[in-house]
Structure 1
Amino acid sequence: MKNLIIIGARGYGREVHDLAKQCSGYNTEYTIKGFLDDKSDALNDFENYPEIISGVEEYKIQDNDVFVCALGSVKWKKHYVELILAKGGKFINLIHPSSTLNTNAVIGNGVIVFMYSNISNDCVIDDFVTIQGFVGLGHDTKIGKWSHLNAYSFTGGFTVLEEEVCLNTRASVLPNITVRKGATVGASSLVIKNVKEGTTVFGVPAKVLNF
């Protein structure tokens, strides 16, 4: 039996805790050992959660430990996952049983998929991608490492999201569109043309925001 440790004990960490309890591997392949978080009092106002064991930097990996990363920020998810990987830590996938993986869908390592998401035919999901609830991925969608798709977001067929892309809540990307590395699509936006690397787009149709 593996001991699952959740990186991050804030709101998203609490959600991932419940996701882990709802997945088929709970109490058959793993139990939940606790959280890693630098804010040692993050759970003080909450009940029914396991303890915060330590911060990520201080934690010494034990036999049978496995990890998931519950951080909504692409930047910080990558940072803390790489810290654990450098220590020799191993990550598992959490995929809610209500979500669908269609024919030939390929899923990487350290992937999180929440409830009622649809990963359609021949999609490719790279390592450490997070897919929130009710996300729809059209056939042949490709999602690069570290990307984060918030609830109710959608991609059409043959969409490409490169590494470190964030789709915010209800964002939609039309078929055959590429969203380049590190780009962010704002909530409820409709992407109708390719998005340049490192940019933030918002609106219907989505346009570049300059800060």
Structure 2
Amino acid sequence: MKEIFGLVGAGGYGRETINYISSHKNKLDIYFIDNDLSGTIVNEIEVINEENFNSIKSEVRYFNISIASPQKRKEIANRFISKGCVPLSLRSPTFTNHGFNKIGNGSIFSDFTIISPNAIIGDFFHANRYSQIAHDVIIGDYVTFAPLVQCNGNVIIEDNVYVGTGALIKNGSTKDPLIIGKNSVIGMGSVVLKDVSSNSTVVGNPARVIK
């Protein structure tokens, strides 16, 4: 019985990242999972809904999620895992991992993303194009880096944080890491120079709280 893989979301990011599964094409039947586009073909890949995916008889049903919202990604992941599906991480061929890093399940590393040594990254992390993570960074679960995010060393990013395109996060130190609290949003192009409280939205250079 052939194993299957489903990528939730047939939008722009999904159409980019589905290509990272190419090395598994001989082993897996591959689908997009998108309730709004179910029954169509997108870039030569069949689109089915969540119910149909979970009804396919397969030795293993692998999945990942190409949706930027941390909260939505968490809800979807919990549903699929409760049905016995298994997260499968996706890596661009141009992703660079400098080693000695711990990376959780279900992550996606897009084109030209880089991780320096000794980072710890949680489950279902998204690193969009050209994002970089420096040494000794700790990232929680369901965190999203939009394209071109630069995260310097000795930073702690808690769960469910969204970091917008082109944001820069200043380095902390071993004794005093810079901390971005859970459920926060870092606006596009923001320059984060100090800690961000949980459930906050910050924008600007330097980043300031607007919510």
**Length-normalised TM-score, structure 2:** 0.89
Is the CA contact (8 Å cut-off) linking 1:56 and 1:80 kept in structure 2? no
Identify the residue that residue 94 of structure 2 maps to in structure 1. 98
Matches within 5 A, 1:1-211: 2-21=3-22, 25-27=23-25, 30-40=27-37, 48-55=43-50, 59-60=54-55, 62-63=57-58, 64-176=60-172, 177-210=178-211
5+ residue gaps, structure 2, are 173-177
Q: Which of 50-59 and 147-156 deviates more? A: 50-59
Q: Secondary structure at the match of 2:87?
A: coil
Q: Secondary structure at the match of 2:45?
A: coil
Percent identity among equivalent residues? 25
**Length-normalised TM-score, structure 1:** 0.89
Is the CA contact (8 Å cut-off) linking 1:10 and 1:42 kept in structure 2? no
Is the CA contact (8 Å cut-off) linking 1:32 and 1:50 kept in structure 2? no
What per-residue deviation string (whole Å, max 9, x for no partner) do you get for residues 178-210 of structure 1? Answer: 100010100110000000001100000000113
CA distance in 2, matches of 1:104, 1:15: 27
CA distance in 1, matches of 2:135, 2:185: 22
5+ residue gaps, structure 1, are none
Q: Secondary structure at the match of 1:12?
A: helix
CA distance in 2, matches of 1:26, 1:70: 18
The total of aligned residue pairs comes to 204
Runs ≥4 residues deviating over 6 A: none
CA distance in 1, matches of 2:37, 2:113: 33
CA pair 10-174 structure 1, distance change in 2 beyond 3 A:
same
CA pair 139-92 structure 1, distance change in 2 beyond 3 A:
same
What per-residue deviation string (whole Å, max 9, x for no partner) do you get for residues 89-141 of structure 1? Answer: 10111111211111311111001100111100101111111111111111001
